A and B are shown apart, each in its own frame.
Chain A
Amino acid sequence: MFIISDSENDCGGYSDFMIGKTKKRLVIFLLVPVVMLAGILLIKLPGWDLLLHNVSDDHILKIHSPLNERIIIPIIKEFQESTGIPVEYTSAGTLDLLNALEDKGDRYLMDILWGGSKEYLNIYNDLFEPIYQGGEEEYILGYNQLPIVLIYNRKLVSSDEVCRSWSEILDSKWKGRIAMANPEGSGSAYIALSFLLEMDMKDDYNWDNAAKLLRNVEGKMLAKSSEVYEGVAAGDFAIGITMEEAAINLIHQDEDIGIVYLEEGTPVINDSIALLKDAKNKEEAMAFIEFVLSRKVQTYMVDRFYLRSVREDVKVPKGLSSMNSLNIFDTSNLSTFENRETILNKWLQMTTDIEKSGPMK
């Protein structure tokens, strides 16, 4: 009796255990797909594919340029449409770009630096790839020329009254009436300052001129070059030192603006283009350089933006006289580009001194 019942119990217990185990397995087999399904549904929500989506950077020509987007956009648009080469451009001030060049080290930043004065870029020659142009090896190619001129608002100043020379600008009668950009940020303003510093230079730079200029602008310099010609056109200032291109644009927009090529000489910024040594898209970059220097684009720039071409076979912009008739000052003679830092430091010192001494008498 006992033996039988015991064995029965054992059997029952064992089979129960088996059933329990298979049930557990069944539950797990059922649960796992359900949980997975729910997970998949959640993951399939929108947004994931967007995160996974990546655009490859291959063969996009990278151009850094301090030029106005007004100029950059149509030229790049035309370049892309006629060559099919995709372009990505970085627009920034000259000094920001120079700082970027300075800090870049071995990093790849761009294929082409488009714009910026040749004198500035010369300092970074070792970063650039030489380009053979007409048999000559050149690091930096000029693609347009920007003379520095004095502009005046005809409504505020008559053409008889306006100053004709650099030394007249320093006359105290222009105190508070002259607009000038900060040489720290503006290439044109720096060249103007450089010209004044080297004018009548003896042993040292002519800091007296700088002081007079600072007195005339009352220690206040405009942040951007554009503020100079816009300020003069709007009548905020009577005269201003800026680029010829800006002035002629205003004149063609029927603003009452006059241009003066100053007697002592007209410094010219040679806007340049340079191919980077570590360019990833050299072929595309060369195509762009050729495009920019082509007769078609050069003529378009003359016609559309009144920029002076570097090409002999392209005529002078409408309303401007030829370079030969101007008293051009060769800016490559200026020593101020190598000493930029010390000059700017001293300039900054003078500016803060004036601010400390309060309003000038």
Chain B
Amino acid sequence: MSRIRIPIFHRLFITYILCSILPLIIIGGLIYGFSMNFLNRTLDEQTMNSIKTFHEGLHVRVSAYEDMIIKIQNGLKSSDSLNLQNGMPDDSNDVYEILYDAMSGESIKPVVHVSNLDGSRVFTTSVFPESYKAGLMNKWGIFREVDNLVMGSVIFPQETDYFPEGRTILSVGSRIYDRTGTHSGYVVVEMPRQVVFEEARVFNSGLSIHMVMLDENGYTLFDSINSEMEGKFQHAVYMDREKIRNHKPIDRLIGNDTFLYLDYRDKRLNTVTKVNVSSNTFHAFNRILTLIIVIGSMISLLVSVVLAALQARSISSPIRKLIKVMGDVEKGDLEIRADLGSRDEIGDLGKYFNQMLNRLNIYMEKVIEKQKQLRTTEIKMLQAQIKPHFIYNTLDVIKWSVKLGHQEETISVVTNLARLLRFSIDSAEEFLTIRSNIEFINSYLAIQRIKYNNSFEVLTDIDDSLMDYKIPRLILQPFIENSIIHGFGKTNRNDGIIKITGQFIHCASSEVEGNCRAIEFRISDNGIGMTEQEIEELTFERPENHIGIYNVDKRIKMYFGEDFGVSINSKTQGTEVLITMPSTIEGDLL
């Protein structure tokens, strides 16, 4: 199974973001849920308590009305005014006195009706409603209920309109007995809407509350918002559009706005109170909480994106840098250093890597130094190989010149030898200009000419522009010497020609492209030439006789690499030597 390569930056970045966002979302969600739940429960309890307090208040009122009824019943027991016989004095003032006396404790006066059985004698603090007139005769409504109950009073929810007193919403009724204990009439005390309104003030908790009070069949007694619903059934259905619009049962108003919907059944009053706490507060709270969570998430996302990017970069970028540096080192660049710019473990990693590189460099330098030393020693040794050989030969010439008494020649040889020796002793430099080399060769040739009785001729054709380029010393001389000694020396010819040419060529080196120019020297003679075997020996072995030629090739290769060096091309008639070197003025190619 191949694994997907996820860069450390992305992994860190995503992890940081998740770590900063997830807890916020989880905690935010939890807080949201908990606070909503808490709010819900608190408001539920609070509203339920309000409803209970409201009903307790109503109960107190109803109890007061019941006391009032008992007072009226007691007061009317001794009165005949309900069934006034002809001739009896009209004592309605006394009856009213009883009524108002009984009502005296109430701040909001209830509507009180007292009537006889058929409604022909009525005492009322307001107007005796039409519905009661018809109701009395047909034992309708509250009178039916009162008739079904012998003792005590009936609480009957009903809405009645009075002018100008306003509506009443609950009636408490009872029978009236005369002194003989016969049922002689009814007393009804009605609770004004104002009382309910006052008691409903317990709901004023700043919440938007819609409260309705219904009887058990859904008949509306009180509606805190849509008072036109009072006296109507909640579940009426209409077809007329206007009526549908005006019909506002509380159940239909429950919707998205609803936060709490409570039902409370009052068994004493036979009413159902429904409270719809609309969710203005809830929505506001909800919105604020959501806003806080969302904005918080956004901000923390933003911050965490930035921080995560910075942090992830601060970890991944030094690592990447280190990887790049390592790559460069792997390619061979040992001078590069990792600059991670951090002080933590990764910084340490970079530091130790750098230290390791330093160490490596020191080792390398040591190794190179050693190699250099080795090479210098070798070169010196190789150079040293030339000198005694040549000097030995020259001294031989001088010996013969002196023996033969060739004074001038001797002087010339000695002068040139002195020049040669100075050339090699005085100058400690490895590299000399081609001009100096040519001068040296001329001195050398002057000696050799004398030695070989001018039996050869030297043609020099060297590009003038080459003259100032530097080449290692004693590069050309061994080949000239070789031509003279081996090419002509063993024959007794006196028409030997040595041709020395020097020019620029485009180098064959693949390493340095473009304007690479090399110097090529070509030294050819028309001597006896060399056999393949001789060339091979010269190239690969170290023959005692050709010590100089091997030496040159070895040196060039040491200085400039394997691309340069000496190649020998020999026929029976003459030998041609090609010497190639890179063109350099300063001479320190290494």
Contact = CB atoms under 8 A, between A and B. Distances in A.
Contact of A44 (B37, B233, B238, B240): B37
A38 interface: yes
B48 to A, nearest CB: 13
A92 B239 contact: yes
A37 B34 CA distance: 11
A96 B240 contact: yes
B504 to A, nearest CB: 56
Interface string B230-249: 01110111111001000000
A20 B238 CA distance: 68
Interface stretch (A141-149, A186-194, A299-307): A299-307
Given A37-B30, A42-B29, A93-B239, A77 B219 contact: yes
A74 B254 CA distance: 27
Interface in B149-172: 158
B26 A91 contact: no
The CB with the most chain B CB atoms within 10 A, among A35, A37, A74, is that of: A74
Interface residues of A, number: 39
B130 interface: yes
B126 interface: no
B236 A90 contact: yes
A41 B37 contact: yes
A296 interface: yes
A89 B236 contact: yes
A252 B130 CA distance: 10
Interface string A17-38: 0000000000000000011011
Contacts of B215: 77
A47 B259 contact: yes
Contacts, number: 110
Interface string A70-103: 0001101110111000111111110011001000
A35 B238 CA distance: 47
Given A34-B26, A42-B32, A46-B259, A91 B217 contact: no
A91 B140 contact: no
A69 interface: yes
Contact of A96 (B40, B232, B236, B239): B239
Given A73-B231, A77-B217, A303-B137, A46 B239 contact: no
Contact of B130 (A47, A80, A100, A304): A304
A69 B217 contact: no
A348 B197 CA distance: 51
The CB with the most chain B CB atoms within 10 A, among A74, A77, A82, is that of: A77
A50 B243 contact: no
A328 to B, nearest CB: 26
B137 A42 contact: no
B33 interface: yes
B205 to A, nearest CB: 17
B258 A300 contact: no
Interface string B136-155: 01111100110000000000
A303 B139 CA distance: 12
Interface in B111-138: 130-131, 133-135, 137-138
A100 B236 contact: no
A303 B132 CA distance: 10
Contacts of B261: 50
Contacts of A81: 141, 144-145, 217
A3 interface: no
A4 interface: no
B334 interface: no
B237 A76 contact: no
Interface in B423-465: none
Contact of A73 (B29, B233, B238): B233
B140 A89 contact: no
A45 interface: yes
B260 interface: yes
Given A78-B140, A300-B135, A303-B138, A44 B33 contact: yes
Nearest to B276: A50
Nearest to B142: A81
B36 interface: yes
Contacts of A87: 217
Contacts of A50: 254, 258, 261
Contacts of B141: 74, 77-78, 81
6 contacts: A44-B33, A50-B258, A81-B145, A86-B217, A92-B238, A92-B239
Given A38-B30, A46-B40, A296-B139, 12 more contacts: A38-B26, A44-B33, A73-B231, A77-B217, A78-B140, A81-B144, A88-B235, A89-B233, A89-B237, A100-B239, A296-B138, A304-B134
